[in-house]
Each structure stands twice: as C-alpha cells, then as structure tokens.
C-alpha cells in the first residue's frame, strides 16, 4: 500500500530520525547530481493556494530524485468547474506515481490519499504544515549540533512560537516539537490557543502533550533558545486582517524579546515574512536569523520524506 505523509505523526520517531539522517546525506551529496529514487516517475504538485518555497523545493526535489514534476494549479483543472475531489484523485492516481498537495481543508489531502491509491504529501493545509515542521526540526538539529544534526542537540531546548498559535504552523510546531523533545511554549492572544483538534493528534499517536500556552510574550521569551514566528494573516484569513494585526501586535518578535532570551538565541520563520508586523526588520536581518538556511533545508528534508515513503510503501 502507498504510504502518505499528511501529518507529523505519520512517521514514527525512529522513522523520522531516519528521515533526518537521510536529509543530512542528501544535503552533503547534492552536487553529485540527480539520483534514481523515483527514476522517470511523474509526480503531480497540486496547489489550491499560493506558494514560492514549497513549489520550488518540491519541483527541484522531485527532479533531483530522478522524477518528473508536474505543477498543477487547481484553478486550471475541472475541479474548479465542479468535478469532485474523489474523481480528480482517482484520475490523478491513474497517471501519477505521487501527489504533493497544498489545500485549504485538511480533508482534501486525506481524500486524495484515500482515492488516488498513491503516496500523497501534505504541502500545507489550514490545519498542518508537516514538511515545514520537519524541516524546522532538522534545521535546529543542524544549528545546535554545529553542523552535525542530531536529535540530542535539540533535546530540552526552549522553543517559543509567537503570534497566531492556532494556525497551521503553531499546530505543526507544537506537535513536532513535543514529538522530538523540545520544550515548547506557544505564545499569543487569548482566544488563539490550540483547540481539541490538536490534542486529538497527540492522543491518537500516544505523544505526551508537553507544550504550554501563555499570552505573556516577555515571560515566554525568557531564556528561550529559539524564537519563532509566522505571518499573522494566513492564506484564507485575509478578511480578518485588521483585527488580527491589532490583537497580535504585542507578539512581534523584536529586539525587546531577544533581550530576555538566551544570549545566543536564534530567530526562525517559515517565510514569507512581513517585516514590521510579526518580526522587526532588525531581527529578521540580524546574524541570529537563520531563515534562509531553514528555507533551503525544505529541499533536503522533503527529498528524504519522499524517499522514505516510497521505500516503505507496497
Ligand atoms: N514556508 C512556505 O511553505 O512557503 P511558501 O508558502 O512560499 O511555499
Ligand atoms: N500560516 C501560513 C504559512 C505559510 C507558509 C499560511 O498558512 O499562510
């Protein structure tokens, strides 16, 4: 049976450790040229939402594994004229060997996995962004391991996510952070706490829910190793922009928050960033910001995810 990656817990911790090991190897051998992991296979990359990093990293990654990436915008397909997700998934399954999807509702990636019979990878839904959270874990492993990425290097580190803690990145980092041993705090306005749908993922996978929520940004930033944020207005939330900016402005990651964090604390962001909103221009452009290494690692980690799924399917 084809295996899919729709949420962080679709790999066991051991399998995930293997993904990170493989990502390290792929990063080190990239210059050697394309591999033959999915040699000649057509893979569809289907987007219902905009993307820069995800689209580029999967397009390059499928190519570098020997496959052929086909970029599909949902608005160009009969889907946009009323053909169902079920029928589209069945059709795509007849032509493609794997499908990467960015969608609004999480049920869309689940339905594609159910009806296409192919490996499906979640490239972001309103609920979760697991390719990004795995990449972020790998990037921290690499940074704190001083170039030699290990899970031990991040164990117990204080990781704080500021802003819209109920968005896909807040959820994914709470789940991945607890799964891989970080000391996770989510910090945002009251009312944006994670809901029961996140707790259900912890229960289902038997992972201890160790993250904390606070609405006090200075207390959250105290002695932190990593300060992380994401946009305040996620794709699909544009109608709430004015209200969100008002509510979230106390949670901007700036020099003030870094002044109470550990001396060598780092800044991370999945990007795209809106400097002056969720992060100050100074922090985003400072030497403590590792956002571009983080973005590059999408490629290496996703190649490792594809390889691991393909090799363990059947
Ligand atoms: N971080 C991320 O997923 O970026 P894109 O929206 O550009 O793909
Ligand atoms: N929370 C953001 C992540 C973008 C990569 C969004 O969904 O728009």
Residues 221-259 pLDDT 10s: 999 999 999 999 999 999 999 999 999 999 999 999 999
Q: What is the rounded CA–CA span in Å between residue 213 and residue 143?
A: 25
Taking the CA of residue 57 as reference, the ligand 1 atom at the shortest distance is 8
Q: Choose, from 55, 129, 244, 269, the residue flagged as catalytic.
A: 129
| Residue 178 is among the residues annotated as catalytic for this protein | no
Residue 160 has pLDDT above 80, yes or no: yes
Catalytic residue among 53, 55, 102, 157: 102
CB 53 less than 6 A from any atom of ligand 1? yes
Q: Percent of the chain scored above 70 by pLDDT?
A: 100
What is the structure's pLDDT at 135? Answer: 99
What is the CATH architecture of 132-294?
Answer: 3-Layer(aba) Sandwich (3.40)
**For the residues 40-52, what does the mean pLDDT come to?**
98
What DSSP assignment string belongs to 70-90?
A: EEEEGGGSGGGGT--HHHHHH
Give me ligand 2 centre to Cα 169, in Å. Answer: 7
For the chain, the domains span 8-128+296-313, 132-294
pLDDT at 125: 98
pTM, rounded to two decimals: 0.98
pLDDT tens figures, 9-25:
999 999 999 999 999 99
**Ligand nearest to the Cα of 299, by number:** 1
Rounded distance between C-alpha atoms, residue 300 and residue 306, angstroms = 10
Backbone angles phi, psi at 233, to 5 degrees: -120, 95
129 in active site: yes
230 as an active site residue: the answer is yes
Helix axes 130-144 and 291-312, enclosed angle (nearest 10): 120
Is the pLDDT assigned to residue 164 strictly greater than 90?
yes
Q: Flag whether pLDDT at 314 surpasses 80.
A: no
CA 278 to ligand 2 center in whole angstroms: 13
Nearest ligand to the CA of 269 is: 1
Residue 283 pLDDT exceeds 90:
yes
The whole-number average pLDDT for the span 251-269 is: 98
132, 157, 252, 269: the catalytic one is: 132
HSE-up of residue 303 (Cα within 13 Å, Cβ side): 29
CB 109 within 8 A of CB 6: yes
Whole-number average pLDDT of the chain:
98
Question: Which of 47, 100, 124 has most ligand 1 atoms within 8 Å of its beta carbon, as the pocket-test mutant?
Answer: 124
For the domain covering 8-128+296-313, report its CATH number: 3.40.50.1370
Q: Averaged over 144-159, what is the pLDDT?
A: 98
Is residue 270 part of the annotated active site? The answer reads yes
Distance 231 CA to ligand 2 centre (A): 7
The reply to whether domains 8-128+296-313 and 132-294 share a CATH topology is: yes
């Amino acid at each position: 049976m084809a295996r899919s990656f729709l949420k962080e817990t679709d790999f066991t911790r051991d399998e995930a450790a293997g993904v990170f090991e493989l990502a390290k190897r792929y990063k080190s051998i990239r210059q050697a040229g394309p591999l033959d992991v999915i040699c000649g296979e057509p893979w569809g990359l289907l987007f219902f939402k905009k993307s820069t990093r995800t689209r580029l990293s999967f397009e390059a990654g499928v190519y570098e594994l020997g496959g052929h990436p086909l970029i599909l915008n949902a608005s160009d397909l009969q889907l946009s004229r009323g053909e169902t997700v079920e029928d589209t998934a069945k059709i795509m399954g007849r032509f493609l060997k794997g499908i990467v999807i960015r969608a609004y509702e999480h049920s869309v990636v689940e339905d594609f996995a159910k009806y296409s019979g192919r490996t499906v990878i979640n490239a972001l839904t309103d609920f979760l962004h697991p390719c990004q959270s795995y990449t972020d874990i790998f990037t921290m492993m690499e940074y704190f391991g001083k170039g030699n990425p290990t899970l031990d290097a991040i164990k117990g580190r204080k990781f704080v996510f500021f802003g819209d803690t109920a968005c896909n990145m807040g959820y994914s980092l709470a789940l991945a952070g607890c799964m891989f041993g970080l000391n996770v705090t989510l910090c945002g306005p009251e009312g944006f706490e994670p809901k029961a749908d996140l707790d259900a993922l912890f229960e289902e996978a038997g992972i201890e829910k160790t993250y904390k929520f606070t609405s006090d940004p200075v207390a959250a930033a105290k002695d932190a190793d990593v300060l992380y944020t994401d946009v305040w207005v996620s794709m699909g939330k544009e109608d709430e922009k004015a209200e969100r900016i008002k509510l979230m402005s106390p949670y901007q990651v700036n020099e003030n928050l870094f002044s109470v964090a550990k001396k060598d604390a780092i800044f991370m962001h999945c990007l795209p960033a809106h400097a002056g909103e969720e992060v100050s221009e100074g922090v985003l452009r400072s030497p403590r910001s590792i956002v571009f290494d983080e973005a590059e690692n999408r490629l290496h980690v996703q190649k490792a995810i594809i390889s691991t799924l393909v090799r363990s399917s059947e």
